Structure 1
Amino acid sequence: MSGEEFVPLSLTPLLIGTFAAIACALPGNFLVLRRQALIGDAISHVVLPGIVVAFLITGAVSTWPMMFGAAGASLLAVVMIEAIRRLGRIEPGAAMGVTFTSMFAAGVLLLEQSNTSNVHLDVEHALYGNLESLIWLDAVGWQSLLDPAALAALPDELIRISVTLIVVSAFVWLFWRPLKLSTFDEGFARTLGVRTELVGLSLVILAAIAAVAAFDAVGSIIVIAMFICPPAAARLMTNRLEVQISWSILFAILSAVLGYILAGYGPLWLGATNAVSAAGMIATISGIILALTAILGPCRKRNGSPAT
């Protein structure tokens, strides 16, 4: 992050960043095509207080407490949105905006008022991630993969995001047909017996799982770029969904690898003395890739028509 000394590049945070980018890009493709891309933004805002409360109760950033905290925060958000809509008699979009910003602010305030000086979770890390510090300190070479003592010190974040990536990939593969049908022609999908509401809900839940799993590495703000930029850039490269998925994975990997390397060595090449946020640089590279495809992509003039 900004102000830190340079550390040697490590494979562990590189893998964590790459897996997080792919896990977010896969559901992001369908969210972008459904014109629901900002659901990733909403999720990142809503789950923050739940994650913080789970952390304050358990004293650790662990998978299941984070998931339960995020689920509880999501349920609270639904109740708040409905209450504000009914009591205030305002349209749903305004109720969502009030709820999302209020819950996100509450999460930030909880972090600021809690004593987290002895751990790596604070406001800055919650917003921008902690990717640089997720290093496998006990690794001494490939032989560490066979050393139980070294494996015990493997960052939990790598295991968490690896399992998440497997789950996300399996979901997309197993439910490819209903996902594709309900994305492009919801009415036709219903006539074939596809439960489109359940598919849409499952997609949102999948995106929430990816966001929570990536939270500790890239934070609750930068993860938005992972949901939107690679799929949006891929959409500008092709009108075929299968090809779009491949492009989005390629762009996600490219963003993670280049972002991590440039965060560590880019400032050094420019004569600076401090590294910058790896997650922030990954998001920046994602935005640059999206800008380039918007200018040079073969489908940039036909982006109003859906992929098939």
Structure 2
Amino acid sequence: MIAFWIILTGALVAVTCGLLGCFLILRKMSMVGDAISHAVLPGIVIAFLLSGSRETLPMLLGAGATGLLATFLIEYFHRRANLQTDAAIGVTFTFLFAIGIILISVFAGKIDLDQDCVLYGEIAYVPIDLWVTPGGTILGPRPIYILSAVLLIVILFIKFGYKELKLTSFDPAFASALGISTALWHYLLMAAVSLTTVSSFESVGAILVIAFLIGPPATAYLMTHDLKQMLAITAALGIVISVVGYWMAYWLNASIAGCMAVITGLCFATVFVYQRIRVTHKRLTHPEPATD
């Protein structure tokens, strides 16, 4: 049963992050998840100073608010300062992370307070993080309920905003000509990414969230140019990676998150090599006609 809960948690995170990651890949914003993982530090500190505790809810609220601020600043610098997206990401997360460090040193120097102790979880601990009712009834691992709710929100968001997300990702100018607000849908997507990453950090840790946010979508991108197929392949890959990664960790007696991330990289490498071999074979068997 322990294996089931861990694999299910990994699959929920993989599918949720992967679906949003498809749109980040298309928008060339893949590393925004890594930026959020660093930028949430000041939100954690402020939440602690306001609440006086390190309970999960205030920490997640503070981290989520700062994650949204980070995505807003990234887009603002990109549009207003004409910075490349990667440069805007780098400036934003280093700035917010540095503010968090200063706040800790000034106001919480004697408190064990950073992302590792209050936000970044370990997927192996999911089966013991139980949801217990006031009456003493155990309903199962708490992260399963949280991640299932987040997955449902993301699926509904993509389902009802598929047209707008697709147009604003592939051709923002055409979307604007049709009267679709590219800025609105960008911020809605970034809000969904922030919600997903922050809620997943607590359950599985930062390394696995970032791996799932980028790896499966990038692999699917090599396999198809159809967005719906890309979403389906990404979801399927996420589930397979969770299963194989867990049993690899069990066999090696190694980190579960590390093994899942390694399988993610191996999937990408395998598809990449296959595509290169396929292209090379096509060129050798069907050479282009010589031109004068």
1:192 Cα deviation after fit: 1.4
Deviations 1:198-221 (A, max 9, x none): 111111111111101101122233
Q: Give the CA RMSD over aligned residues.
A: 3.6
**2:70 is the alignment partner of 1:70:** no
**2:172 is the alignment partner of 1:186:** yes
Structure 1, unmatched stretches of 5+, are: 1-7, 140-146, 268-274, 302-308
**2:152 is the alignment partner of 1:170:** no
Deviations 1:3-56 (A, max 9, x none): xxxxx8432222111101111111100110111111122122212442455367
Q: How high is the sequence identity, in percent, across the aligned residues?
A: 33
- Supply the distance in 2 between the matched residues of 1:183 and 1:218 (Cα, whole angstroms): 28
Q: Which of 282, 288, 300 is the aligned partner of 2:260?
A: 282
TM-score normalised by length of structure 1 = 0.73
Q: 1:223 to 1:107 in 2, by over 3 A?
A: farther
Deviations 1:95-114 (A, max 9, x none): 75244135446657959956
1:124 Cα deviation after fit: 7.1
Structure 2, unmatched stretches of 5+, are: 280-292
What pairs up with 1:130-145 in 2 under 5 angstroms?
130-136=122-128
TM-score normalised by length of structure 2 = 0.77
Instruction: Find runs of 4+ consecutive structure 1 residues off by over 4 angstroms.
Output: 76-83, 89-96, 105-117, 124-127, 136-139, 298-301
- Supply the distance in 2 between the matched residues of 1:238 and 1:262 (Cα, whole angstroms): 28
- Supply the distance in 1 between the matched residues of 2:225 and 2:96 (Cα, whole angstroms): 38
Q: Number of residues paired by the alignment? A: 269
What pairs up with 1:17-56 in 2 under 5 angstroms?
17-51=10-44, 53-54=46-47
Q: 1:261 to 1:177 in 2, by over 3 A?
A: same
SS at match of 2:29: coil
CA contact (8 A) 1:24 1:211 kept: yes
**2:229 is the alignment partner of 1:243:** yes
Q: Which of 190, 194, 200 is the aligned partner of 2:186?
A: 200
- Supply the distance in 2 between the matched residues of 1:78 and 1:207 (Cα, whole angstroms): 12
What pairs up with 1:224-239 in 2 under 5 angstroms?
224-239=210-225
Q: 1:77 to 1:192 in 2, by over 3 A?
A: closer
**2:144 is the alignment partner of 1:150:** no
SS at match of 1:234: helix
- Supply the distance in 2 between the matched residues of 1:237 and 1:26 (Cα, whole angstroms): 15
